[in-house]
Amino acid sequence: MDNKKPVFEFKDIHVEVEGKEVVRGVSMKVYPGDVHAIMGPNGSGKSSLSNALMGHPLYKITKGEAYIDGKNLLEMSADERSRAGLFLAFQYPLAIPGVTVANFMRAALQAHRGKDADMSDFRKLFLAEMKALSIDKTFATRYLNDGFSGGEKKRVEILQMIMLQPKMALLDETDSGLDIDALKTVAEGINRYHNDENGVLLVTHYQRLLNYIKPDYVHVMFKGQLVKSGGPELALKLEEKGYDWIEQEVNQAAEVS
Q: What is the pLDDT of residue 144?
A: 96
pLDDT score of 48 more than 90: yes
pLDDT in tens, 153-192: 989 999 999 999 999 999 998 888 788 888 999 999 999 9
Q: How confident is the model at residue 3 (pLDDT cuts 50, 70, 90)?
A: low
When pLDDT is averaged across residues 41-57 and rounded to a whole number, the result is 94
pLDDT in tens, 4-34: 899 999 999 999 999 999 999 999 999 999 9
pLDDT in tens, 157-168: 999 999 999 999
Q: Where are the domains of the chain?
A: 8-227
pLDDT in tens, 96-127: 999 999 999 999 999 999 888 889 999 999 99
- For 255, residues 6+ apart whose C-beta sits below 8 A from its C-beta are none
Instruction: Output DSSP code: residue 95.
Output: P
Residue-wise burial string across 198-232, b where 16 or more C-beta atoms lie within 10 A, e elsewhere: bbbbbbbbebebbebbebebbbbbbebbbbbeeeb
Q: What is the pLDDT of residue 97?
A: 93
- For 90, residues 6+ apart whose C-beta sits below 8 A from its C-beta are 157, 172
Q: Which residue has the higher pLDDT, 22 or 247?
A: 22
- For 49, residues 6+ apart whose C-beta sits below 8 A from its C-beta are 13, 15, 23, 26, 38, 203, 221
Q: What is the pLDDT of residue 11?
A: 98
Q: What is the pLDDT of residue 253?
A: 74
CA 180 centroid distance within chain: 20
Q: What is the pLDDT of residue 2?
A: 54
pLDDT in tens, 183-235: 999 999 999 999 999 999 999 987 889 999 999 999 999 999 999 999 999 99
Looking at this protein, which amino acid is placed at residue 111? A
Cα separation, 74 vs 85, in Å, equals 14
CATH class for the region spanning 8-227: alpha beta
